[in-house]
Chain A
Amino acid sequence: MRGAFFRALLELAEQDDRVQLVVGDLGFGVVEEFARRFPKRFLNAGVAEQNMTGIAAGMALSGKIVFTYSIANFPILRCLEQVRNDVCYHNANVKIVAVGGGLAYGALGATHHATEDLAILRSLPRMVVVAPGDPVETEAATRAVTAHAGPCYLRLGRAGEANVHHGQIHFQLGKAIQVRDGKDLTLISTGGLLETAVRVAESLRHTGLRTRVLSMHTVKPLDSDAILAAARETGAIFTLEEHSRVGGLGGAVAERLAEVSEGAILFKRFGLPSAFCSVAGTQEYLRAQHGLSVESLAVAIRSKLEKNRTLTVTNAG
């Protein structure tokens, strides 16, 4: 996703001289080309994220489209009040980009796990929260947040994820992308677990379950229509995110379903517990540790559906 982001950003910078990149002394090996091609629109603010974010707001209020870039929680939580007051309150045209969403920097330890960011950022007024599912979505999301006048948070995974989408996609902020259709259940994914979601759907297909997979790349504003249609048409919704189960995609979908769903539906959130993960490990290892492997997810979904079927039969009997 990182590569896709920079590819798109370079093109956008070529087309629009308002585009600026401000980094917090991170991005070795990836920010240099921007700095070389657009030296007057690149800024390394140093290891000082509060100032970096205030500067970005000041530049945006002077007519620029400013991308701040750092890793994990540094460009959001370290400077959360600057994000809230300076960026959001002033509707400043700042795009905050964090690479290393979720457990992408797994082995670096809990300080580098961005696992509450979606919950925190989506509570800020005006903030658009985007977690693309693969490199193809990342390129499209980079263009979409640039075109959107106002604060955006772009949560990227790491470098080198495989493409889930092949060919053109129709990407619109706030509109989920249906990756495959199904009538038995819906799996709604955000961020880099999209590939896992598709593989879970394939695994479930072998047991006769047809899964609708939605890539909910925009967590805020949330695509209510897609959620309600999924509830109505499949009756079972599972959410999937590399993020705390508190307040992220699962929380957002639950809020919406609880208020507006017409009938009872089956619902479960897959994500991380509200806990610090203090063992080292690759992203893949840590996902598996938290039940986010394809196999564990498929088992958990089948179990939930079967339990529900048993209950339904018992009640009917």
Chain B
Amino acid sequence: MAESQAESRDVSSLARRIRVQAAQMIHRAKSSHLGSAFSMAELLAVLYAKILRIDPERPNWAERDRFILSKGHACAALYAVLAERGFFPKEWLDDFYQDGARLAGHATHVGVPGIEVSTGSLGHGLPIACGMALAGKRDGCGYRVFAMLSDGECDEGSTWEAALFAGHHRLDNLIAIVDYNKIQSLGTVKEVLDLEPFAEKWSAFGWGVREIDGHDLDQIEETLASAPAVANKPTCVVAHTVKGKGVSFMENKLLWHYRAPDREEMTKALAELGAEE
């Protein structure tokens, strides 16, 4: 039990470090999407600490699990967790989004170990994940494919083309996680293009669906470790999250989809995250 608590503290600490790194990157770069990075910090922490079968020393290991960040705009958090896991030096995070940097403002695979595919235009991740999952099954490889989607990108038809496909082909080695923070670019999901009944849609498309608290480490781990949720079906984890989670004045605020924190806001944010400037 003591060991489990220690592990849990480690994952929790990783989630915190993801938020601190992402905030610093976005502050330095005066870039966007901090709220989108924060809402999936626990999901990434559990994936990279406990779930994904990966080896930072061998990023192209054939048997590795694949992770695709389909919501590529939230890449600051992904770069942060990859650096934390040792896929590349943490110094790379320093010039994120700057002139000449390899870490661009949407997930970029070129020269960045651990990034499977470049994303940024929404609705691309799930079809590619389907192709990888299908290839894995055809080759009898045991790897699993994880795709993290935003709720906003579930507006895209291509996401539903892939959802239909994965259900039909029973891709039980595929896990889609929707970071359902309920806020997209210009308003709430409910206002812009309501997705509800959301879990039922995935279910109707032939997926095993789990709805979880996307900030509860134990629930995330239990859900991802036990996938497929339903035998012979792809799994959709609808993770209920809070946009901007972790910093009180950013939580559930549309503003933090785009705004970069200024110096004063950074001081407050880092204090709340328990980090020094």
A3 at the interface (CB under 8 A from B): no
Q: Are A48's CB and B132's CB within 8 A?
A: no
Main SS at interface, chain A: helix
Q: Are B118's CB and A89's CB within 8 A?
A: yes
CB distance from B149 to the nearest CB of A (A): 13
A48-B165, A54-B124 are contacts. A43–B134 as well, Cβ < 8 Å?
A: yes
Q: Are B130's CB and A54's CB within 8 A?
A: yes
Residues of B within 8 A of A51 (CB): 127, 130, 158, 161-162, 164-165
Question: Which chain A residues in 39-84 approach chain B with CB under 8 Å?
Answer: 40-41, 43, 45-46, 48, 50-64, 81-82
A163 at the interface (CB under 8 A from B): no
Contact mask for chain B residues 97-125; partner A; CB cutoff 8 A; 1 contact, 0 none: 00000000000010000001110110110
B83 at the interface (CB under 8 A from A): no
Binding site for B on A (CB under 8 A): 40-41, 43, 45-46, 48, 50-64, 81-82, 85-86, 89-90
Top 7 A-B residue pairs of the complex, sorted by shortest distance between their CB atoms: A58-B131, A54-B127, A62-B135, A51-B161, A55-B131, A48-B161, A50-B158
CB distance from A80 to the nearest CB of B (A): 11
Candidates A46, A48, A62; contact of B131 at CB < 8 Å? A62
Main SS at interface, chain B: helix
Q: Are A55's CB and B127's CB within 8 A?
A: yes
Q: Which of chain A's residues has its CB closest to B143's CB?
A: A62
Candidates B109, B116, B135, B164; contact of A59 at CB < 8 Å? B135
Residues of B within 8 A of A82 (CB): 124, 127, 158
B157 at the interface (CB under 8 A from A): yes
Binding site for A on B (CB under 8 A): 109, 116-118, 120-121, 123-124, 126-136, 138-139, 157-158, 161-162, 164-165
Q: In the bound complex, how far is the Cα of B157 from the Cα of A48, in angstroms?
A: 9
A45-B165, A55-B128, A62-B136 are contacts. A50–B123 as well, Cβ < 8 Å?
A: yes
Candidates A40, A53, A81, A86; contact of B138 at CB < 8 Å? A40
Q: In the bound complex, how far is the Cα of B124 from the Cα of A40, in angstroms?
A: 24
List the count of A-B residue pairs having beta carbons below 8 Å apart. 89
Q: In the bound complex, how far is the Cα of B124 from the Cα of A52, in angstroms?
A: 11
Candidates B118, B121, B133, B165; contact of A81 at CB < 8 Å? B121
CB distance from A56 to the nearest CB of B (A): 6
Q: In the bound complex, how far is the Cα of B6 from the Cα of A216, in angstroms?
A: 67
CB distance from A314 to the nearest CB of B (A): 56
Q: Which of chain B's residues has its CB closest to A54's CB?
A: B127
Residues of A within 8 A of B124 (CB): 54, 81-82, 85-86
Given contacts A51-B165, A55-B128, A58-B133, 16 further A-B contacts (CB under 8 A): A45-B165, A48-B165, A54-B126, A54-B162, A55-B134, A55-B162, A56-B131, A57-B127, A57-B131, A58-B128, A59-B132, A59-B134, A60-B131, A62-B135, A86-B124, A90-B109
A46-B164, A46-B165 are contacts. A58–B118 as well, Cβ < 8 Å?
A: no
A40-B138, A50-B157, A86-B124 are contacts. A58–B164 as well, Cβ < 8 Å?
A: no
Q: Which of chain A's residues has its CB closest to B133's CB?
A: A58
Candidates A41, A54, A56, A59; contact of B158 at CB < 8 Å? A54
Q: Are B161's CB and A61's CB within 8 A?
A: no
18 A-B pairs with CB atoms under 8 Å apart are A48-B161, A48-B164, A51-B130, A51-B161, A51-B162, A54-B124, A54-B131, A54-B162, A55-B127, A55-B130, A57-B128, A58-B128, A58-B130, A61-B116, A61-B128, A62-B135, A81-B124, A85-B124
Q: In the bound complex, how far is the Cα of B128 from the Cα of A59, in angstroms?
A: 8
Residues of A within 8 A of B157 (CB): 50
Q: In the bound complex, how far is the Cα of B25 from the Cα of A271, in angstroms?
A: 52
CB distance from A4 to the nearest CB of B (A): 27
Q: Are A62's CB and B161's CB within 8 A?
A: no
Q: Which of chain A's residues has its CB closest to B136's CB?
A: A62
Centre residue among A45, A51, A59, A89 by max chain B CB count within 10 A: A51
Residues of A within 8 A of B128 (CB): 54-55, 57-58, 61, 86
Q: In the bound complex, how far is the Cα of B169 from the Cα of A58, in angstroms?
A: 15
Q: Are A90's CB and B161's CB within 8 A?
A: no
CB distance from A145 to the nearest CB of B (A): 19
CB distance from B130 to the nearest CB of A (A): 5
Centre residue among B120, B157, B161, B165 by max chain A CB count within 10 A: B161
Q: In the bound complex, how far is the Cα of B123 from the Cα of A216, in angstroms?
A: 37
CB distance from A168 to the nearest CB of B (A): 36
Residues of A within 8 A of B121 (CB): 81, 85
Q: Are B165's CB and A55's CB within 8 A?
A: yes
Residues of A within 8 A of B109 (CB): 90
Q: Which of chain A's residues has its CB closest to B168's CB?
A: A46
Q: In the bound complex, how far is the Cα of B139 from the Cα of A86, in angstroms?
A: 22
Residues of A within 8 A of B136 (CB): 62
Q: In the bound complex, how far is the Cα of B157 from the Cα of A82, in angstroms?
A: 13
Residues of B within 8 A of A53 (CB): 127
Q: In the bound complex, how far is the Cα of B94 from the Cα of A199, in angstroms?
A: 65
Q: In the bound complex, how far is the Cα of B127 from the Cα of A82, in angstroms?
A: 10
A51-B127, A54-B124, A85-B121 are contacts. A61–B132 as well, Cβ < 8 Å?
A: yes
